[in-house]
Chain A
Amino acid sequence: MIAALGIRLGDPAAYVFLAFAAMTCGSALIVAASRNIVYSAYALLLTFFGVAGLYAFLDADFIAAAQLLVYVGGILVLILFGVMLTHKIRDINLSNETTNPIIGAAIAGFIFLALAYVSIYTKWDVVERTASPTTGEIGKAFVGKYLLPFEASSVLLLGALIGAAYLARREKEKP
């Protein structure tokens, strides 16, 4: 099992990678399975940090920074606001049940096994990219080849934020 994962004992990078992977997967399981919604929200923080560490491992420096800024700084704070606005912190049992864990686990396990089968048994002809700073290339790609998707996503973001502000604002008091 350990040899199948390609762990060479005595390679410190392997241990750091394993630690990041364990942190990510363990806290993801807490997010999906914890009874307390506040624990879920804070475990999501650990998951995002672990994923950012994996990005740094995979030579995606700009993506790692953007993960921290966008997910931890933006989305997680939004989710925490949502949790705090809809629950009392001490409420553990407030509608936090699982409905059909067996069906859910079966479907999730099937999806995982299918993806794992494909990723293990496909013959990938891997060429490893040498580590190089990616920020400049991403910027050039966004103003060059990928200009239209970039503009489309910016318009989508603007529309979504206006819609969110409209949806969440308080209704005016009727006179």
Chain B
Amino acid sequence: MLTLHNCLLLSALLFATGVFGVIARRNVLIVLMSIELMLNGVNVAFVSFAKFYPGSSLAPAGHVFVLLTMAVAAAEAAVGLAIVIAWFRNRKTTDTDDMRSLRW
């Protein structure tokens, strides 16, 4: 049951769900959540490869990558939400279709 195939399928499903959310949703907060879903999917793939390809050394490189990804995800969430809140304060919207002030 706990095989590499199943774990990779699960991570692919999480990643595809995140892609759907990013493309199809208009609320920028849902887009941020979907990005977190995609990052989690990739992390599941990393951890399952660390489980099923232990490598020669004892240090699990997959786990190290996952921790670095978590740091980047935390930074991304903080900056993304700061931008969303600053935008909402100025324009009163969280709709991605309204965010076109850089387009003429």
26 intermolecular pairs with C-beta atoms under 8 Å apart: A6-B1, A6-B3, A6-B6, A8-B1, A13-B2, A28-B18, A32-B24, A32-B34, A51-B43, A58-B47, A60-B47, A60-B51, A66-B67, A66-B70, A82-B29, A86-B29, A86-B85, A96-B25, A97-B26, A119-B4, A126-B53, A127-B52, A129-B52, A134-B60, A149-B68, A167-B79
Given contacts A28-B14, A119-B8, contact A40 B79 (CB under 8 A): no
Smallest CB separation, A130 vs chain B (Å): 8
A60 touches B29 (CB 8 A): no
A28 touches B37 (CB 8 A): yes
- Across the interface, B23 reaches (CB within 8 A) one of A78, A108, A149, namely A108
Residues of chain B whose beta carbon lies under 8 Å from any beta carbon of chain A: 1-27, 29-30, 32-34, 36-37, 40, 43-44, 47-48, 50-54, 58-61, 63-64, 66-68, 70-79, 81-86, 88-89, 93-95, 97-98
CA distance A11 to B30 in the complex (A): 37
Q: What is the predominant secondary structure among interface residues of chain B facing chain A?
A: helix
- Across the interface, B24 reaches (CB within 8 A) one of A87, A104, A165, namely A104
B63 touches A163 (CB 8 A): no
B29 touches A83 (CB 8 A): yes
